[in-house]
Amino acid sequence: MTTHLDLGCGAKPRNPYQRDELFGIDLSGDEGAGPVRRANLAMQPIPFDSNSFDSVSAYDFFEHMPRVLPTADGHSTRFPFIELMNEIWRVLKPGGLLYASTPVYPHKAAFQDPTHVNIISVDTHLYFVQPQKMATMYGFTGEFIARRVQLGRPGSDTLYLPRPDGLWQKVYAAHQIRRGRCSHVVWEFEAVK
């Protein structure tokens, strides 16, 4: 039996990989052990055991995760987005998949909602995937392989651009975003364990 977890799902979790069992996490979820559990993932870990899921999704969720917060005692800082990426890696089974879609800089969709506190660019994924894993300097302990990083529109299964590796691709991608053609970036990562 395969399992999927949708983060920030509201009342209806999504299941992009059509797994057998579907769970969700949301601020409005159930306190108990129902299919949609309540958790504030900026402050709490994902309330499931390690290696529980074949896949995890996050639709229009990452942009709401704070990047930096003071610790409870006020003497240090913590990195909730880094912690969330560690938690996603923790609950995924070896080879498990993360599917995330979020507004991308410099499109206005990244900024217009006043609750967006984590601006993602076309290169943010490099902090979490091989070989760079640049977020290790901030406490990232997981490991992912990028299977897909593409630009597109929300609600569209058709995405428009490959990951921009070269200068020309980056210029083209920025042009498409500025013209309003691509408001979101999609990540599809595989957990390496």
Taking only the tens place, the pLDDT of each residue in 172-183 is 767 777 777 788
- What is the pTM (predicted TM-score) of this model? 0.89
- The radius of gyration of the chain from alpha carbons, rounded to an integer in Å, stands at 16
The confidence band for 159, taking pLDDT boundaries of 50, 70 and 90, is very low
Residue ranges and CATH numbers for the domains of the chain are 3-191 (3.40.50)
Q: What's the distance, CA 67 to chain centroid?
A: 13
Q: How many CB atoms lie within 10 A of CB 162?
A: 13
CB 152 within 8 A of CB 160: yes
* Cis preceding linkage at 106, omega within 30: yes
- For 60-118, the pLDDT digits (tens) are 999 999 999 999 999 999 999 999 999 999 999 999 999 999 999 988 999 999 999 99
Mean predicted lDDT score pLDDT of the chain: 90
Q: What's the distance, CA 137 to chain centroid?
A: 19
Would you mind telling me the total number of residues written for the chain in this entry? 193
